[in-house]
Amino acid sequence: MLKRNWALIALVYLAIAEILSWSPVPDLALCLIQPEYSEQAADHNEPKYCPAFHTGVEVFFAAANDVFERYEKLIIGGFTVVLAISTIGLWLATKRLWDAGERQLALLAETSAGQSRDMRDSISAAKASAKAAQDSADALPRVERAYVYPTMVSSRNIKECIETAREFNPGGHDSGNEPVPATMATLTFRLKNYGKTPAVLKSVYAGFGVSPEGSEFGVTVPDSILGSMETTGDIAVKMNALLTRNQASGIGVYTASLGFSGLITFEDIWGSEHVTDFYFKWDQEAERMALHGVKEKPQKNS
């Protein structure tokens, strides 16, 4: 840095000295190089110049012009060689820049592909989480909602009614299809909510008789709201019709069946309506009404 400052100072000094050498001076003794005149002016009023630097510049330009004329081809050839080398260097630099750009584009493409894969993975994970959350929300009502089913309490005098009808002998020409008196059996059942949330009972229909039982009639339910694991009071249902001797005989040999069927309609706390379809059948060996089927019909929203 110091050398550069001194060089700059010297260059400024030379420039100032060159400019001053073009101006007249009061005394030629101040000049470093004394001028020579081949002839003197008559009146001695010629301006006095100090040619120290001015002449040197002229000499420099003359010498430079002479050197250029003498070595013109060599100088042009040198410049041509320098230009060729510079062109080759420019081509090499351009090629390196091109290769660097290609590598950067390849890296950018790889990075973009990685980011795209990560984004797709994130979207897939988000969709999976959303689906899991939706499945969990959809499963909540199924797990927590009410489930109402019938439970048998008693089946009084069913066995006695069947035996009475089978042994009935009115005499004469009895076809066996006449209703037998004193064969009107009665059974008692309850409704129980096996779910985890309350149920609102809307209607209960039940039918009791020899299959096909016939119409199912609406029954009166003492309770309209059942909490979790709660049951209604006893609900009594009588047979739809008296037994005949042929029906009783068929029940004994399993060619006829004594059944109890019904429909329970209730609503859960989510406002969805459900229908439970059930069927009990008289078990001759166990001498009781046994559950033979229960299912829920398609639900609907209120």
- For residue 56, the enclosing domain spans 2-36+45-70
The answer to whether residues 11 and 150 belong to one domain is no
Judged by average pLDDT, the poorest of 37-46, 208-217, 287-296 is: 37-46
Domain assignment of residue 249, yes or no: yes
- The model's confidence at residue 30, banded by pLDDT at 50, 70 and 90, is very low
Q: What is the biggest distance separating any 2 CA atoms in the chain, rounded to whole angstroms?
A: 192
The answer to whether residues 64 and 149 belong to one domain is no
Higher-pLDDT residue of 196 and 69 is 196
Higher-pLDDT residue of 289 and 48 is 289
Q: How many CB atoms lie within 10 A of CB 274?
A: 21
The answer to whether residues 149 and 295 belong to one domain is yes
CATH code, domain carrying 164 = 2.60.40
CA dist., res. 244 & res. 85, Å (int): 125
> Which pLDDT belongs to residue 38?
45
- Tokens 């050398």 sit at which residue? 3
Domain assignment of residue 125, yes or no: no
> Which pLDDT belongs to residue 212?
66
Mean pLDDT, to the nearest integer, of 15-23? 63
Domain assignment of residue 283, yes or no: yes
Per-residue pLDDT for 7 more than 90? no
Domain assignment of residue 122, yes or no: no
Domain assignment of residue 169, yes or no: yes
How many domains are contained in the chain?
2
Mean pLDDT, to the nearest integer, of 78-103? 88
The answer to whether residues 296 and 150 belong to one domain is yes
**What contacts 48, CB < 8 A, 6 or more positions away?**
24, 25, 26, 27, 28, 35
Per-residue pLDDT for 10 more than 90? no
Domain boundary pick from 54, 70, 86: 70
Q: pLDDT digits over 155-176, tens only?
A: 878 999 999 998 888 776 677 8
Nearest to 292 by CA among 276, 277, 279, 282: 279
The answer to whether residues 157 and 287 belong to one domain is yes
The answer to whether residues 57 and 169 belong to one domain is no
Mean pLDDT, to the nearest integer, of 28-57? 53
Mean pLDDT, to the nearest integer, of 104-119? 85
Domain assignment of residue 174, yes or no: yes
The answer to whether residues 62 and 150 belong to one domain is no
Domain assignment of residue 296, yes or no: yes
Domain assignment of residue 286, yes or no: yes
Q: pLDDT digits over 117-157, tens only?
A: 888 888 888 888 888 888 777 778 888 999 999 999 998 78
Mean pLDDT, to the nearest integer, of 177-202? 91
